């Protein structure tokens, strides 16, 4: 299969980690010189996009992986225990949708990172533009910092809290990795694959967060390499048969951050707002863009919870005793994205997720 992606992309890295672990062959191509055809096939130019030999297009890393699990069931990344599987999916969603802001901040707020990444992206995604390289680099820096940092609520007042999110993620992961090689067992789960989104192509490679990880959190650096090389080292899938006590820290972090964002975003979307505010761990974020896609993410989490048995639901609720997590099982907050209503993902026409 052909993967249209970018070498420093958050979600391309996540998908590549999955494809490598599963041993699924792929070729990497850069999409921006063939935009009209890709947009016609996939709906939006958002990497990664998979083009199949039969002419079908697949978009959005999470439904892509869920579908490929049905085609390539060997060495699954979905734990067999329903409760462990739900928690793994929750961690993946947190990695996808909460840590994104922190990853983009480190990349585009720090000058050294910004200068390096603008060179890489100018050479990968803007060569079709008939402009000098220095102009293309300027356009990349202005667009990325404006759209994904300033527009996404990173200010002098929130910057410290945004960066704390990186340390909290590593700290909670390290607790889980003390007694096993992967977050929920002896082989990678969808939780590990999800966390590779921010940890691989951003935190472990962009100069500023990479130095922090390498110097102060080397066990996380080892985990990144371990997941990237998992196909060569892992045998049969081996997951825990229950959620371990050491997952408590990351679940609390998810409750206090990602769940708040999902709730306030869904409320604002339901009211037809374009912007919203939220208070997360005592930090006030203002003028954030409402994301229809994150309403869709909440819908998918609720569906995953709804299919659990009564006993499994009670176990999940006991693992998430935080008031913010009631969002998952309490319909008091409406979540209606009106996206992929026919459940065709990843073969549907995608939308801009941010």
Q: Is the dihedral of CA 2, 128, 120, 32 positive or negative?
A: negative
Pair of tokens at residue 284: 């006030």
- Cα–Cα–Cα angle for 259, 265, 271, nearest 5°? 140
What average pLDDT score do residues 262-275 get?
A: 98
Q: pLDDT-based confidence at 234, cuts 50/70/90? A: low
What average pLDDT score do residues 131-159 get?
A: 95
User: Which residues, at least 6 apart from 342, have a Cβ–Cβ distance to it below 8 Å?
Assistant: 348
**Torsion angles phi and psi, residue 4, rounded to 5:** -85, 110
Q: Is the pTM of this model over 0.85?
A: yes
Q: Which helix (H) or strand (E) holds 4?
A: strand 2-4
Residue recorded with tokens 């176990």: 315
Domain extent listing, the chain: 2-71, 256-327
- Which strands form 27-29's sheet, in the order they lie side by side? 27-29, 2-4, 49-51, 57-59
- Cα–Cα–Cα angle for 79, 42, 9, nearest 5°? 60
> pLDDT for 322-352, tens place per residue?
999 999 999 999 999 999 999 999 998 877 7
What average pLDDT score do residues 21-39 get?
A: 86
Please give the pLDDT value at position 233. Answer: 74
User: Which residues, at least 6 apart from 250, have a Cβ–Cβ distance to it below 8 Å?
Assistant: 91, 94, 169, 172, 173, 175, 176
Distance CA 259, CA 33 (A): 38
What average pLDDT score do residues 263-287 get?
A: 98
4 bridge partner residues: 29, 49
pLDDT higher than 70, residue 307 = yes
pLDDT higher than 70, residue 161 = yes
> pLDDT for 184-198, tens place per residue?
999 999 999 999 999
Please give the pLDDT value at position 353. Answer: 64
* 198 in Cβ contact with 99 (< 8 Å): yes
* Other Cβ atoms closer than 10 A to 115: 12
Please give the pLDDT value at position 40. Answer: 86
Q: Which helix (H) or strand (E) holds 319?
A: helix 310-319
pLDDT higher than 90, residue 171 = yes
Please give the pLDDT value at position 41. Answer: 84
Mean pLDDT of the chain: 95
DSSP string, 253-296: HHHHTHHHHHHHHHHHHHTT-SEEEEEETTEEEEEEEP-HHHHH
**What architecture does CATH give domain 2-71?**
3-Layer(aba) Sandwich (3.40)
């Amino acid at each position: 299969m052909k993967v249209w992606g970018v070498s420093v992309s958050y979600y391309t890295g996540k998908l590549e980690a999955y494809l490598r672990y599963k041993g699924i062959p792929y070729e990497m191509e850069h999409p921006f010189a063939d935009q009209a055809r890709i947009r016609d096939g996939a709906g939006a130019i958002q990497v990664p996009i998979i083009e199949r030999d039969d002419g079908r297009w697949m978009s959005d890393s999470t439904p892509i992986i869920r579908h490929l699990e049905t085609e390539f069931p060997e060495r699954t990344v979905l734990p067999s225990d329903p409760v462990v599987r739900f928690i793994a999916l929750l961690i993946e969603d947190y990695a996808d949708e909460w840590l994104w802001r922190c990853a983009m901040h480190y990349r585009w707020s720090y000058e050294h990172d910004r200068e390096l990444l603008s060179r890489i992206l100018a050479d990968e995604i803007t060569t079709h533009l008939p402009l000098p390289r220095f102009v293309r680099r300027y356009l990349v820096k202005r667009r990325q910092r404006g759209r994904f940092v300033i527009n996404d609520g990173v200010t002098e007042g929130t910057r410290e809290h945004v960066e704390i999110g990186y340390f909290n993620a590593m700290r909670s992961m390290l607790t889980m990795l003390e007694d096993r090689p992967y977050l929920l067992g002896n082989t990678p789960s969808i939780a590990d694959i999800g966390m590779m989104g921010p940890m691989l192509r951003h935190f472990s490679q962009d100069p500023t967060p990479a130095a922090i990880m390498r110097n102060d959190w080397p066990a996380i650096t080892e985990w990144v390499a371990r997941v990237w090389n998992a196909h060569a080292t892992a045998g049969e899938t081996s997951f825990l048969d229950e959620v371990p006590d050491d997952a408590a820290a990351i679940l609390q972090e998810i409750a206090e951050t990602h769940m708040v964002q999902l709730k306030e975003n869904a409320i604002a979307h339901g009211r037809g707002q374009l912007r919203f505010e939220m208070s997360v761990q005592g930090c006030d974020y203002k003028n954030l863009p409402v994301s229809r896609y994150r309403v869709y993410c909440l819908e998918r989490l609720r569906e995953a919870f709804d299919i659990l048995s009564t006993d499994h639901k009670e176990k999940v609720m006991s693992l998430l005793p935080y008031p913010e997590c009631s969002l998952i099982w309490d319909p008091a907050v409406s979540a209606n994205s009106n996206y992929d209503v026919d459940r065709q993902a990843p073969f549907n026409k995608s939308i801009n997720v941010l």
